[in-house]
Amino acid sequence: MGQLISKLNTLVSGLSRSVAANIVMLGLDASGKTTILYKIKLNETVKTIPTVGFNVETVGPIKGINFTVWDIGGQEKIRRLWQHYLKSADGLIYVVDSNDKDRLCKAREELYGILNNENMRSVPVVVIANKQDLPDAMDLSTVADGLDLNRIKQRQWKIQGACAKTGDGLFESMKAMSDLVKSYINKSLLEEKRDQYK
């Protein structure tokens, strides 16, 4: 009887424990990263200027998980510095301007540069196809094809349409990131334990 109560207590405490995760949010300049970050944090549309450097905020968009989100500037000269923020990432939010057809190939090139980084091996990805409210915005399948997302095999990923200004699609994006990160962290812990017993 005592063992059963102990197991139940362990189970309940495990369910109520909050998971903390480091998330990097990357994408080309003017894709809407900072607007997304502050919409999630404050539920307000904040007037932003191009990020030179980074913004970092802790947000709890979904019950049971806290994200420390690193929003790194996307200008060309800053992109070279992205690699320095990848070391302890548990998840990647990659933001794409759905209205910027001319730079979709560049967005794909930068995405695969990140995914091929040694520190990002198997880290889950949520692609936010932002600015879906604009009349000429590409639909999700066009963005997914343009980014060649079906090529991603060794990690979990999801694409979600959104509008940072109104908040449409952001809850769904954070829910997807939460689910993928929890799975990733649990898998990493299991592998760590397995390695200990080898």
Domains of the chain: 18-193 (3.40.50.300)
Give 3-state DSSP helix, strand, coil % of the chain, rounded to 5.
45, 25, 30
Whether residue 88 is annotated as binding a ligand: the answer is no
Whether residue 73 is annotated as binding a ligand: the answer is no
Q: What tokens does 81 get?
A: 């510095």
Q: What are phi and psi of 163, to 5 degrees?
A: -135, 110
Mean pLDDT by 10 residues, the chain (198 residues): 44 58 97 97 86 91 93 92 94 98 98 97 97 98 98 96 97 97 88 70
Residue 164 to residue 47: CA distance in whole angstroms = 12
The secondary structure element, H or E, covering residue 179 is helix 170-196
Residue 3 falls in the annotated catalytic set:
no
Q: What tokens does 107 get?
A: 């967005």
> In this predicted structure, what is the pLDDT of residue 10?
45
Whether residue 51 is annotated as binding a ligand: the answer is yes
Task: Report the DSSP beta bridge partners of residue 95.
Answer: 128
Whether residue 130 is annotated as binding a ligand: the answer is yes
> In this predicted structure, what is the pLDDT of residue 190?
74
* Cβ atoms 85, 70 nearer than 8 A: yes
> In this predicted structure, what is the pLDDT of residue 49?
76
Residue 105 to residue 41: CA distance in whole angstroms = 30
Catalytic residue among 3, 75, 154, 196: 75
Helix 104-115 × helix 140-147 angle, to 10°: 60
pTM of the model: 0.89
> In this predicted structure, what is the pLDDT of residue 72?
95
Q: What tokens does 98 get?
A: 């759905």
Whether residue 156 is annotated as binding a ligand: the answer is no
> In this predicted structure, what is the pLDDT of residue 169?
98
Residue 129 to residue 169: CA distance in whole angstroms = 9
Encode pLDDT of 153-167 as tens digits. Answer: 999 999 999 999 999
> In this predicted structure, what is the pLDDT of residue 47?
81
Please list the alpha-helical segments (H only) found in 49-160: 76-79, 104-115, 140-147
Whether residue 30 is annotated as binding a ligand: the answer is yes
Encode pLDDT of 74-116 as tens digits. Answer: 999 899 899 999 999 999 999 999 999 999 999 999 999 999 9
